[in-house]
Structure 1
Amino acid sequence: MSDDTSRSIIGRYIEAYNAFHIDGMLALLHDDIVFHNYSGGKLELATNGIGEFRELAEKSATLFASRCQTITGYRSENGEIVVDIHYDAVLAVDLPNGLKSGEQMELAGKSVFQIEDGKILRIEDHS
């Protein structure tokens, strides 16, 4: 798959994510999607398959009044696409970690994508 095609798929996924368009996100995912979220190098969350991913996406959407991932870098490494991300969000609810509704979150990290058959097969988010 060409680099331009991969960029397009990832770009459309991030646009759908930012717009809370869950069906748009899911349309770009392989049925066997694997999602891992790492914080500080530690695996915090994992899903396997489109059903588990949908549940996570629907639950996550309720946590934010707004959210925006912005790509700040893009490179291919060992058959994967690594995307540097700036993340900005405003919470819609109070979180158990003490963050309150209306507070802004800002993070920098990266997402690693594996694409197979024109669909996203694996996503690893690192912050």
Structure 2
Amino acid sequence: MTRKEIIEDYIRAYNSFDVQGMLQYLHEEVEFKNISNGEVNLSLQGIEAFRKQAEQASKLFKEREQVVLHYQEQENAAAVTIAYRAVLATDISKELKAGDTLTLKGKTIFGFQQDKIISIEDYS
């Protein structure tokens, strides 16, 4: 399976709230970072921490979809530009309420160790 196919399957699992499907491609020591406006607002280490966060996050959305706009292979990584749309299932702040639709464009860098994803950095 190519890196591109792994990423496509990972995103397909993400879009369908299939946490187990997402985990199958991750290295045990996966490192995840979410970077928004240049600041790290979430950092996780290890597949168990990732699983817990993915399960919690999936409860926040009624629907969600990532669409790959651009894919670029690098030496031990792949950079993906993504269009993101999600509908909230619950209120998450005074401004963001259940039923609101979020749309954004971002970039995700997937680091690889052999055929497993060892790092994920989400930029928005």
Q: Which runs of 5+ in 1 are unaligned?
A: none
What code does the residue aligned with 2:28 have? D
Residues 102 and 8 (structure 1), Cα distance of their counterparts in 2 relative to 1, 3 Å cut: same
Counterparts of 1:41 and 1:78, CA distance in 2: 24
Question: In the alignment, what sits opposite 1:59?
Answer: 56
Moved over 2 A (4+): 76-79
- Give 3-state SS (helix, strand or coil) of 1:101's partner: coil
TM-score by length of 2: 0.96
TM-score by length of 1: 0.94
Q: What percent of counterpart residues are identical?
A: 41
Q: Which runs of 5+ in 2 are unaligned?
A: none
Corresponding pairs, count: 124
- Contact 2:108/2:122, CA 8 A, preserved across alignment: yes
Counterparts of 2:31 and 2:93, CA distance in 1: 26
What code does the residue aligned with 1:69 have? Q
- Give 3-state SS (helix, strand or coil) of 1:100's partner: coil
- Contact 2:10/2:21, CA 8 A, preserved across alignment: yes
Counterparts of 2:5 and 2:112, CA distance in 1: 11
